[in-house]
Amino acid sequence: MAATGGHMVGGHFGHRRMDRTQDAAISAEQMGQVLDVVRLLAVTPDLDTLLTRIAESATSLLRAERASIFLHDETTGELWAKVALGAREIRVPASAGIVGHAFQTNALVEVSDPYSDARFNRQIDRRSGFVTRNLLTAPTRDMNRKPIGVLQVVNRIGGPFTPEDRRMIELLADQAGVAIQRHYLQQEVVRAAGLRHEMDLARQVQAAMIPQAPPRIAGLQAVGWTLPASVTGGDSYDLWPTADGRLGLFLGDASGHGIGPAIVVSQARTLVRALSEVNGDPSWLLHRVNARLSQDLEIGRFITVFLAIVGGDGRIEYSAAGHGPTILFADTEAPARFLDPLGPPIGVVGDLPCDPTATARLAPGGMLVVLSDGVFEARNRERRLLEIDAVVRLLERVRREPADRVLQAIQEALLRWQGQREPADDQTVVIVRRET
C-alpha cells in the first residue's frame, strides 16, 4: 500500500481487465456494479463494508491498481484513510497534498504526472518502492454538497483516465457520501436516544419527588404546581405533614434549568425533608442545608429557598434564603404584604448569614402565595415582563376563591401573557389558604 503525498492509496483491490471497446461509455456490466453498490446502501448499515465495496468497485470500474477513501475528522482538521487495507491508518492535514486539494476545492482533481506536481509527496513512494503514475481524486459530499471526505484511485491500467472514468468516480464518490452521511446520522440518533433516555429518567425522578396530592391538614387548603422550561427544571416544591400535625412547605429555585439544577434543587429538598424530622425550625434547616450544599455546588451555582411550617391555626413560621417576594394576604380584606428574604441564597457562602425564623399569621380566608421568579418574570411576545404588581392585582381579584381556583387563575394568566404553554424559565407556585 502506498501513501502519496497527502494522498494515500488504499488496499490492493483486485482489478479486471476490460476490452477497449468498453472505454467509450459506461457498459451494462459497469452499471450493474454501480447498482450493486446502491443496493448495498439500502440493506447494509455497516460503514466499513459499504466503503470497502465502493473502493473495490472503483478499482474494477476504473481499471486502477488501488483505491482509498478518506474521511474528514472535524475535531483534528485531518483527512484519515477509512479504507486502507494492508497499511496503518494514515492521517494528513485536510489542506495537504492532492486529497487535501480535492477536499478544500470540493472538486475533482486529476493528476497525470504526479512527480511533476508540487502537491505530490514523492518521499512516500520512495520509502515503499511503489511508483505512482497517475491519480484521480474526487470529494465525497453530503446531501448539501458539502465535502465530508475523499475517494481516490491510483494508477489506471492501460493508459490515462478517461472522461468516463471521471464520471464514474464522481458517481461512486456520491454513493460513498451517502453512506458516510447515513453513518453519521445513525450515530446522532443513537446518541440522541441515549440522551433522551437519561433525560426521561431525570424527569421521572424529579416528578416522583413532587407530591401527587397535597396533605390534608385541618383548617388549611394547599396546592402546588411546577412547569419546567426544559425536560427537567431547576424549580422544585414540596408539601408534607409534619410530625406535630402542621404543614411543611418548601419551594426551591436553583440557578439555571435542566439536569444539573434539577439535581441540585432535588438534593436541597431531600435534605430539608430528612432534617425536618430532627428539627422543624426553618432557619435551623436552611443553615444545615447551606452547610452541606455550599461544599458541593460549583462556583456561581446557588439555590433560593422559601421554607415554612404552617399550622391549622394560621400561624406561619418561615425563613427565606434569597427567595422572594412571597405574597401574604393576612385575611380576606388585608392588602398584600411581601415576605422578604431573611438571608442570601443557599450555596453563596459557607456560613449562611440568615436572620432567625420569622412568623406571620393567616386569619380565616387569609392566603400565602409562594412563587418562583419564572412566574413574575414571564415574558410576552414583545419580551415584556409580567412583573410582580400584575400578579398581585390578579391575586386581589381571586383572593376569596379556593386555593385550587386561585392556582388555575395564575396558570390561565400566564398562558394568556406568554402566548404559549412552554415558559422561558421554570415556573412554580405554592398556595396555602386558611379555610373560613
The CATH number linked to 317 is 3.60.40.10
CA dist 276 and 241 (Å) reads: 11
**What is the full DSSP assignment across 343-367?**
BPPBTSSSS---PPPEEEEPPTT-E
In a domain, 258, yes or no: yes
Residues 221, 96 share a domain: no
Is the same domain home to 289 and 430?
yes
Tens digit of pLDDT at every position of the chain (436 positions) = 344 444 443 333 333 333 333 344 556 666 666 666 666 665 566 778 778 888 888 888 888 988 888 888 888 888 888 775 434 567 788 888 898 999 999 999 999 998 999 888 777 777 777 888 989 999 988 878 889 889 999 999 988 998 888 888 888 888 788 778 777 777 777 676 766 666 666 666 666 667 888 999 999 999 999 988 765 567 889 999 998 999 999 999 988 656 777 778 888 888 898 888 889 999 999 999 998 888 777 777 889 999 999 999 999 999 999 998 899 999 999 999 999 999 999 888 888 898 999 999 999 999 999 999 999 999 998 989 999 999 999 999 999 999 999 999 999 999 999 988 788 888 999 999 999 8
Residues 228 and 273 in one domain: yes
Q: Which of 217, 293, 259, 250 is nearest to 428 (CA)?
A: 250
Residues 275, 182 share a domain: no
The helix/strand/coil state of 63 is coil
Among 187, 220, 242, give the residue marking a domain's end: 187
Sheet strands (E) in 2-117: 64-73, 78-83, 91-93, 109-111
Domain final residue, candidates 172, 187, 202: 187
Phi, psi of 240 (to 5 degrees): -150, 155
Same domain? For 89 and 237 the reply is no
Task: Verify that 83 and 169 share a domain, yes or no.
Answer: yes
Nearest to 383 by CA among 359, 409, 417, 433: 417
Residues 162 and 299 in one domain: no
Asked if residue 192 belongs to a domain, the reply is no
pLDDT of 2 reads 42
Q: Do 294 and 248 reside in the same domain of the chain?
A: yes
Same domain, 233 and 367: yes
Range of the domain at 279: 211-434
The grid coordinates listed for 174 are 456520491
Shared domain check, 423 and 314: yes
Q: Is residue 194 one of the residues assigned to a domain?
A: no
C-alpha cell at 142: 453530503
Same domain, 289 and 342: yes
In a domain, 1, yes or no: no
Torsion of CA 308, 309, 311, 316, to 10 degrees: -40
The tally of domains found in the chain comes to 2
2 within some domain = no
Helix (H) or strand (E) holding 236: strand 235-241
In a domain, 425, yes or no: yes
Residue 6 lies in a domain: no
- C-alpha span between 258 and 269 (Å, rounded): 16
Do 86 and 218 share a structural domain? Answer: no
Give dist(CA 368, CA 338) in Å, integer: 10
Q: What is the CATH number of the domain that holds 113?
A: 3.30.450.40
